[in-house]
Structure 1
Amino acid sequence: MAAVESGDDDDKLETEHFLRIVNAFRFYRSHALMRVESADRYYKELPDHHKALIPDFRANLDLIRTSIDHNYEIIKLILQDTEYMFENKSHGLENDGETIKQVPPTTFDMDKVTSTLKQFVRDWSEDGQVERDACYKPVTEEITRRFPASEWDPSSVYVLVPGAGLGRLAFEIANLGYSCQGNEWSLFMLFASNFVLNKCKHVNSFTMYPWVHQWSNNKLKADQTRPITFPDIETTSIAPTVSFSMAAGDFLEVYTEPESWDCVATVFFIDTAHNIIAYIETMYKIIKPGGCWINLGPLLYHYTDMANESSIELSYEELKNVITKIGFVLEKEEVDVKSTYTQNRLSMLQYEYQSVFFVATKPS
């Protein structure tokens, strides 16, 4: 994976950030078990006749503890060799992280760890197939329509996937024969994608319990400890002649070379911007004349009302005006595309986005 070069002060901040994310992963088991112990303490305070009505309650807590322990074994594998992910650069992580100063992470950091576990469902399990079909299939179908193998050498078509997450969409594009690079800023995602793409050699060789942190809206108590296996596909299946990579860093900082990509594919990405207009300007700059931008997702602006953060939030109507004023031609548009994001299909609570799918081209 490629990293952005930086000065000494930036290096120090980068190292501190790196160690903070590693600490969050390493604190996972302790943090998750605190919630279990809280439930157990309250159970002990119940009247005996109430306890008698739920005789299997503590046995289920034991299953939850075991599931958390198993997840932590996966996390330890994810953390292996992470200090050398970026241009052979070490961040001071030694002995599998044992020498790191253990600073309890924030609740925000721990939410990121548990949400990263759910990303394995979305991107790399059979359980996530329906969600992937809704979100990724329109993109891959559009790419093959615009750059058919009958007219193009797919390996000569360069596709960029910003906000690549755990890398499945970028992998699928490369698996079709196109040269593809995924870009991701979040170290949570980068650690996990590095593991699944480079360390998981066999189909369904790992088991995880992604819903073990969901304490409400479970129809069955077994739903909380329901396992998934991953990866659901051989991650080594990409042809050796195809260029496939993941690049770390801020999209706006990493991609500055004009007219270098035939296609940019964004899924649940553009609303991660502080300034969405800067994202659109950058995409217009880096796409080759005649190339295209394919997008699917909602407008859940990530920095809205977040402490110490600011952003500009445009309606889709305003966004379309910006896209065309910058120079894109809106060629295709579908609204109210039903889509989900890391959805637990067995939960009593379901969120569904009415996403937009569009294709914008840069005039030749």
Structure 2
Amino acid sequence: MADDVDEIEKKDEEQAEKEHFIRILNAFKFYRSHSMRRVYTAEKSFNGLPQHHQEFIPQFLDNLKTIQTCITHNYEIIRLIIKDAECMFENKTHEADDKPEENLKQMPPTNFDMDKVKTTLKQIVRDWSSTGEEERKMCYDPVIAEVKDIFADRDPSTVGILVPGAGLGRLAFEFAKSGYRCQGNEWSLFMLLASNFVLNKCSEVDCFTLYPWIHQWTNNKMSADQIQPIKFPDVNPSDLPPTSDFSMAAGDFLEVYQTPDAYDCVATVFFLDTAHNVIAYIETIYDILKPGGYWVNLGPLLYHYADIENETSIELSYEEVKKVIKKIGFVIQKEETDISTTYTQNPASMLQYRYSSVMFVCQKPKEPKTA
């Protein structure tokens, strides 16, 4: 009887994973139609203006046509991103490709899903374009510098680093490029599909073009800003030393990483606040670090699940987070607050969001804590 229950639960879980997978693919496939709708809305608003008002902005419709062209081009990139999706995740069913219209009807993407697709495009800018270099300097460079300083006396190939919440993998890639053994971990299928494309399918510098800002209809100084292209990747992702030990692991951080004393360093950037329960994150980081290992963190506390219906979320202040860090057993060795950072920010926008982030370095004691 128990075996039957386990088998039913396993099938239910597999079905849920399959439906989630197809829903994410559908969101990517719906990108062009979804984006065009916004263009049609703008065109309808223009046509509703009095004729003499239309004459004030004669280039308006031409600009919309250009945006449509950019959307179509972005969709071609998206098709490349999802091309090998089923093979990547060893999905045995290909329903998402066999009956795309039926799947879209059965599992239509939500507005949240479509926002994730747009965010993924902007994440390419942040991680893999020269336009995102300034953001990377703010967010990645301080963490990389700390890790290099901590392990200055060790051969990098002997240092194992984990980067949870790796996004499109640039931070983990930079560690691997510096000779460290590094694994990136990511839960979001949106990010995993895109990172797989960049890391495994891009072998030349600036070989693809993307229009990441066409969905920004407000706060544009110039019409040209909305259709500004970027090229990616700004480096060759396959250009790693032959001895590099670099990988990306898919899955929930708390479920994937349960082996104690496994890593010399955990590097987290804009990651802590992705937790339903930030305390569980901190506990897991402590457990998987080797005695004497280091945790380097930089980011804000946005708390992604706050105020989302039917989602649990514990929102702690930074003061409370520090208390938890110490109670779990970490020794805070360095701390800096008010670090100005941005996240997938359009540098040309009239509206600029900035975080006043914190950065800290913690060490797991070499000797186990006593009761």
Q: How has the CA–CA distance of structure 1 residues 350 and 261 changed in structure 2, closer, same or farther, with 3 Å as cutoff?
A: same
Q: Report the count of equivalent residues.
A: 356
Given that 1:181 and 1:245 are in contact with CA atoms closer than 8 Å, whether structure 2 keeps it comes out as: yes
Match of 1:83 in 2: 86
Q: 1:32/1:266 Cα in 2 relative to 1: closer, same or farther (>3 Å)?
A: same
Alignment of 1:201-216 (within 5 A): 201-216=203-218
In structure 2, do the counterparts of structure 1 residues 170 and 8 end up closer, same or farther at CA, with 3 Å as the change threshold?
same
Which residue number corresponds to residue 222 of structure 1? 224
Task: Identify the residue that residue 124 of structure 1 maps to in structure 2.
Answer: 128
CA distance in 2, matches of 1:68, 1:94: 22
Check the 8 A contact 1:124/1:230 in 2, yes or no: yes
1:232 paired residue number? 234
| 1:112 is aligned to 2:113 | no
Map Cα deviations across residues 105-158 of structure 1 (whole Å, 9 max, x no partner): 11000000001100011000000000000000011111111112xx32211211
Q: Paired residue for 1:297?
A: 299
Amino acid at match of 2:146: E
CA offsets 1:152-190 (integer angstroms, 9 cap, x no match): 221121100000001100000111000100000000000
1:263-278 maps to which residues of 2 (within 5 A)? 263-278=265-280
Counterpart Cα distance in 1 of 2:100 and 2:313: 38
Which residue, 251, 261, 264 being the options, matches 2:263?
Answer: 261
Alignment of 1:280 onto 2:278: no
Residues 45-103 of structure 1: CA deviation (Å, up to 9, x unaligned): 111100000000000000000000000000000001111113x3434256587476123
Tell me the CA shift for residue 236 of structure 1: 1.0
The one-letter code sitting in structure 2 at the alignment partner of 1:295 is N
What SS does the corresponding residue of 2:339 show, helix, strand or coil?
Answer: strand
Aligned to 1:41: 44
Moved more, 92-101 or 38-47: 92-101
- 1:294-316 deviations in Å (ceiling 9; x for gaps): 00000001111111112111110
Note if 1:348 corresponds to 2:350.
yes
* Structure 1 residues 317-356: aligned runs within 5 Å: 317-356=319-358
Residue range with higher mean Cα deviation, 98-107 or 209-218: 98-107
Q: Name structure 2 gaps, 5 residues minimum.
A: 1-8, 367-371
Q: 1:12 to 1:337 in 2, by over 3 A?
A: same
8 Å contact 2:203–2:238 — kept in the other structure? yes
2:81, 2:194 within 8 Å by CA — same for their partners in 1?
yes
Superposition pairs for residues 24-103 of structure 1, below 5 Å?
Answer: 24-86=27-89, 88-93=90-95, 95=97, 98=100, 101-103=103-105
Is it true that 1:20 corresponds to 2:26 in the alignment? no
Match of 1:158 in 2: 160
Would the aligned equivalents of 1:160 and 1:183 in 2 still touch at CA under 8 Å? yes
Is residue 135 of structure 1 aligned with residue 135 of structure 2? no
- Letter of the 2:66 partner, please give it: L
In 1, the alpha carbon distance for the partners of 2:236 and 2:142 equals 22
Match in the other structure for 2:149: 145
Please identify, of 63-72 and 137-146, the stretch whose mean Cα deviation from structure 2 is larger: 137-146
Secondary structure of 2:104's counterpart equals: coil
Query: Secondary structure of 2:39's partner?
Result: helix
Unaligned runs of 5+ in 1: 1-5
Partner-residue secondary structure (3-state), 1:160: strand
Letter in 2 for 1:254: V
Cα distance, 1:95–1:316 mapped onto 2, change above 3 Å:
closer
Q: Letter of the aligned partner of 2:231 in structure 1?
A: T
Q: Counterparts of 2:24 and 2:96 in 1: how far apart (Å)?
A: 15
Q: 1:3 matched to which residue of 2?
A: none
TM-score by length of 2: 0.94
Report the counterpart of residue 187 of structure 1 in structure 2: 189
Q: How far has the Cα of 1:242 moved from its partner?
A: 1.7
* Letter of the structure 2 residue corresponding to residue 146 of structure 1: I
Matched, 1:174 2:183: no
Aligned partners of 2:202, 2:363: CA distance in 1, in Å?
37
Distance 1:99 1:31 in 2: 14
Mapped partners of 1:124, 1:189: distance in 2 = 13
Task: Give, in whole Å, the separation in 2 of the partners of 1:18 and 1:94.
Answer: 9
TM-fit CA distance, 1:243: 1.0
Contact 1:292 1:359 in 2 (8 A): yes
Query: How large is the RMSD of aligned CA atoms in angstroms?
Result: 1.3
